[in-house]
Amino acid sequence: MSLIIYNIGMLVQVRDETVAFVAGKDMSLLPVVKDAWLLIEDDIIAGYGSMAETPSFSDALNRMDAGGGYVLPAFCDPHTHLVYAGSREKEYIDKIRGLSYEEIAKRGGGILNSAQLLHETTEDELFRQSMERIREIISFGTGAVEIKSGYGLTTEDELKMLRVIRRIRNESRLTVRATFLGAHAIPGQYKENRNGYIDLITNEMIPAIAAERLADYIDVFCDRGFFTVEETERILAAGARYGLRPKMHANELDYSGGIQTGVKYKALSVDHLEFTGDEEIAALLGSGTMPTLLPGAAFFLGMTDPPARKMIDAGLPLALASDYNPGSSPSGNMKFIMSLGCIRLKMLPEEVINAVTINSAYAMGISETHGSITVGKKANIIITQKIPSYEFIPYAYTTNLFDRIVLNGEIVGK
Ligand code: NIG
Ligand code: FE
């Protein structure tokens, strides 16, 4: 099927040649075409140009009048935990009353609470609950998502989560990447035997997951109170033997050494990074590891924000992700994440748009096919209502501006 979209007020994030990601000063550059058309053939972007020079298109084409709305690439959300059972609003109340994220975790709440709920939930029910979140994020403009395991914490339950992620990949229109996060927390029964749990991850979970090809990446929550650098290294080395590249949780709670460890193991991304200083920045520069910030988590938990401005000014690229999860960020709304990027992290609108498209595509290993309006890339796009500028998108921070979403060349919007 071919589709021509015309009367586009502005085509945003147009890249002729394939750019893997943008860094430093280039993050504030956002290529656009005003008054544009866009041609989609099957599920691929086939061409674009200015309305002033519209070629004649065959009558057989499907046509869509964008009515002056803007078109941008659908968001790539490179860090979520959206496969989970139930919800954790009781801990939200505990947080309002003054308990910290770590205190809640120490009492057996937090990740272990979600693990218990997940254990009691069937695979079908887990899939059903997760698909509601998938439909929700599509309506928010997300076209590609990375989803982690990590609420299983037993071989059987980690496999259950990863099979649900595979089913989402097969049955939804989203582009999905799966990450194995067995090292999300130490389960209660291994509290006095941490090595026993790490052995279980390296000797049993990783081989079982690799045998079914259930994961693209491997993650470890390398932070104070969770996994140490030494433990992280053991797990990443085992993952590497099975071809699993790291995408890590690092430096959310402290200067944990997680960033340097991620770079050492050639992580595709290191994520959170609230505690990032000069040494961490030096390790990241030129590394090929995408620093990925999750401003929803720091916002929701009322914690420190990462030094985004300092990182960009030092020449680093940045990606943004939602971290959609029941404990620290129960939202997958990437438009709101863009607003938090501007308001809390002092990123410019151009920088946040780059951070949720081309750079976040890189952070999940799909920037050759996603993240920009480029001929030959996947036709995953958002068509906005008529808006005065692209800056208006993060500015209008709760207005749903996205009427129509096209995924794989098909209109899926409301
Ligand atoms: O990215 N930091 C670790 N993991 C998640 C939170 C998971 C949870 O609390 O359920 C995060 O914030
Ligand atoms: Fe996370």
Query: Per-domain residue ranges for the chain?
Result: 2-73+372-413, 75-364
Query: Which CATH homologous superfamily contains domain 2-73+372-413?
Result: Urease, subunit C, domain 1 (2.30.40.10)
From 81, 102, 180, the mutation candidate for ligand 1 (largest count of ligand atoms within 8 A of CB) is 81
75-364: CATH class: alpha beta
Q: Which residues of 211-226 are buried (b: 16+ CB within 10 A; e: fewer)?
A: eeebbbbbbbbbbeeb
User: Percent of the chain scored above 90 by pLDDT?
Assistant: 92
Distance, CA 52 to ligand 2 centroid (Å)?
Answer: 46
Phi and psi angles of residue 2, each rounded to the nearest 5 degrees, phi first: -115, 145
Which ligand has an atom closest to residue 111 CA?
1
Query: What average pLDDT does range 370-377 have in this prediction?
Result: 98
Given pLDDT bands bounded at 50, 70 and 90, which one contains residue 1? confident
Instruction: Tell me the whole-structure pTM to 2 decimals.
Output: 0.97
Phi and psi angles of residue 326, each rounded to the nearest 5 degrees, phi first: -80, -15
Do 48 and 57 form a contact (C-beta atoms < 8 A)? no
Query: What average pLDDT does range 334-358 have in this prediction?
Result: 98
From 299, 323, 324, the mutation candidate for ligand 1 (largest count of ligand atoms within 8 A of CB) is 323
Query: What average pLDDT does range 245-273 have in this prediction?
Result: 97
Given pLDDT bands bounded at 50, 70 and 90, which one contains residue 108? confident
At 413 the pLDDT is 65
- Vertex 378: Cα angle to 38 and 65 (nearest 5): 25
Query: What average pLDDT does range 176-184 have in this prediction?
Result: 98
Q: Ligand 1 — pocket residues by CB below 6 A?
A: 81, 110-111, 114, 221, 249, 252, 297, 323, 325-328
At 18 the pLDDT is 77
Question: Relative to the CA of 110, which ligand 1 atom is closest?
Answer: 9
Which ligand has an atom closest to residue 252 CA?
1
Which ligand has an atom closest to residue 113 CA?
1
For residue 382, pLDDT beyond 60: yes
Distance, CA 7 to ligand 1 centroid (Å)?
Answer: 42
Q: Whose CA is nearest to atom 12 of ligand 1?
A: 328
For residue 261, pLDDT beyond 70: yes
Question: Relative to the CA of 79, which ligand 1 atom is closest?
Answer: 1
Given pLDDT bands bounded at 50, 70 and 90, which one contains residue 248? very high
Query: What average pLDDT does range 237-243 have in this prediction?
Result: 98
User: How far, in Å, CA of 380 to CA of 299, rounded?
Assistant: 29
Q: What's the mean per-residue pLDDT of the chain?
A: 96
Question: Relative to the CA of 297, which ligand 1 atom is closest?
Answer: 12
Question: Relative to the CA of 111, which ligand 1 atom is closest?
Answer: 10
At 102 the pLDDT is 84
Distance, CA 48 to ligand 2 centroid (Å)?
Answer: 37
Question: Relative to the CA of 252, which ligand 1 atom is closest?
Answer: 2
Query: What average pLDDT does range 330-353 have in this prediction?
Result: 98
For residue 414, pLDDT beyond 60: no
